[in-house]
Structure 1
Amino acid sequence: MLLMMAEVLRFGQVAEALPESTFWAFLDFQQSHVSWVGCSLHDLIQPSFSFLVGVALPYSIASRAGREQSRTMMWFHTFRRSLILILLGFFLRSLHKEQTNFTFEDTLTQIGLGYPVLFALGFRSERVQWAALISILVGYFIFFAAYPLPGLYFDWAETGITADWEHNLTGFAAHWNKNTNAAWAFDRWFLNLFSRESPFRFNGGGYSTLSFIPTLGTMILGLIAGKWLKNNLAGSSLIGRYLVTSAVLFAVAVLLDLFGINPIVKRIWTPAWTLFSGGWCFLLLSGFYFIVDIKQNASWFKLLIVIGSNSIAAYILADTLAGFINHSFRIHLGQNYDVLFGEAYRSLISGGLVLLIEFWVLYSLYKRKVFIRI
């Protein structure tokens, strides 16, 4: 959530103003999504959020069972949560539009679509959960691999890219190219079932509705990690299990990518991406667990605790209020209030002030023990 909120700092603008600086170029890369194959720090935001949904589920189920809530009521709450997440995704994607923007690639919508299946798996054995993960990834792989590649007379104008786009893959990996794949073809049918300002042809970023299926795989990895955590394994044993799992996921993902079997692409959430990002999630969780739980250094992360305690509120703040706050500062402080340290750094000043206001809101909620949950 902090990384997403920090987008207002606009490191890319600083890097553009200071083209000779490798420091700002590095920060710009880490705050941007890679064009297609690969990974930046920013690309790990959505899988981390999805992974933690899975981690939290065993605790949620145990809490509700402890209150003697019936399975029927649990399912009612699950479907309600799923629907709210989907509708909230529609709302955020429709801001500044002329009508409802029915699109399903938003993080909240993707989680909402897969959440009922995740909930069902929460009551099953770990073996069933691993089997479900493998089935999802293998099935999704076959779905893409079976879709035909563009032919000689393919109309590239319908994809938003050209046949010689620099990030296009060749060989078997071309089945996972931008806006020429099976998920793109599905959206060309599915999204046009809804009322739209104009017919859907392609998503400019290459994102797709069906990515919720492998995203469910990420949530299942989180579910398994959460179950291990809740089982109160000895600290060293748990960290060891997390690290081994991380290493295996990394190894399989990188080999799939290197041999051209399945590329690591976040934008369409390839099976290799599910494994690769899952490896990072296990690694990050083990690191935080070691520092916070074993070494008892929770105070180091007070900032993150405040933001994470109201993650939905943080998500909505970042999507809705940043522009309003910035515009208000320009009205009351002057249009050029943020050139204090020069034109190159103005986004750091304006963005930093927006971040302070957003954190103040979240801290106020935290102090008053107001936590927005779905």
Structure 2
Amino acid sequence: MKRRAFLGKAGLGAVAGTAAIAAPAMAQQNPKISWKMASTYGPNLPPLFGSAEVFCKMIEEASGGQFTIRLYPGGEVVPGFGVLDAVGNRTVDCGQSASYYYYGKDPTLCFDTAVPFGLNARQMNAWMDQGDGLKLMREVFAPRHIVNFPMGNTGTQMGGWYRKEIKSVADLKGLKMRTAGFAGEVLSRVGVIPQQISPGDIYPSLEKGALDAVEFVGPLDDEKLSLQRVAKYYYYPGWWEGSAQVSLYVNEKAYAELPKQYQSLIALASRYAGQQLLTDYDAHNANALRRLVASGAELRAFPVEVLDACYDAAQEVYAEFNAKYPQFKKVYDNYMGFRDQTIPWFRLAEGSYDSYLNRALNRAKQQ
């Protein structure tokens, strides 16, 4: 027993000694590099901005302090929606954003985040990792001098906050609504007037009546913005965001200048930070929703009539864009082909399991 204890202590000592040797060795082998990183988000959105903080912290710690990245919130160095261009022209070395914010530059970028009636978070991860997603999106980003990395997902989002009930398609006519990316194009076909507004301006715009409705993310972030104070009705599902992937943008020249060890570290750290982001939402959205309802939010499901009208409008937009943009069609065909292949399995396995378990829990409560 004493021998085992001795060996345990000796083993720990050996590991500590190895670590002590490894850190200086890494410092000798790898150069000291300092980067700047801009985010679209800020500290008022802890899951999103926090995942960028996790990424920077991991890079610094894993490199023994040799590779550091200073993170700037949206608006501090560049505007929140200026991250894509800032990384491309190397105003900053890297950035965190959601690519569908840049729909106006190229609608194909939306596939990197979310498109209406698209993939859920698990399916998106699978398309990026095991399908052609990452390869195709890197082709889209290449002309902008950016190397992109997936860095998390919000999961399926809510359908937003509305001042009035949405009982039919007619109730959407003339509605001034904050939304982003492809969703605005589709919603405009059913009468909505889409507005793209940065996260920091959402609450005052809704409060002052400049907006009639707002969609942002889901319960956790919506609660932080206190949207329930200025709009009563909370709708679901967010059909335009079955998931929403957040991305890390790295300037291609900055990336090429890195040692291979640092390039690998970026891939690992972005994946780790991304996993933290999704688990943060999955762990905390449920309780946030309960608090929102307790504070007066009224949950409503979109009528099937409304969902069908929006689905049909989305197909019209896709057809138009496929005819107009060859690269859009290339990505669309691959993305939707992957969706159509995986949906039956998810419905068979996870959909049936979730539906039954929800029914069983409700039955137990009534007994």
TM-score by length of 1: 0.23
When you count helix as a share of all residues, which structure comes out higher? 1
TM-score by length of 2: 0.23
Higher gyration radius (CA): 2
Q: Which has the higher contact order (CA 8 A, sep 6+)?
A: 1
When you count strand as a share of all residues, which structure comes out higher? 2
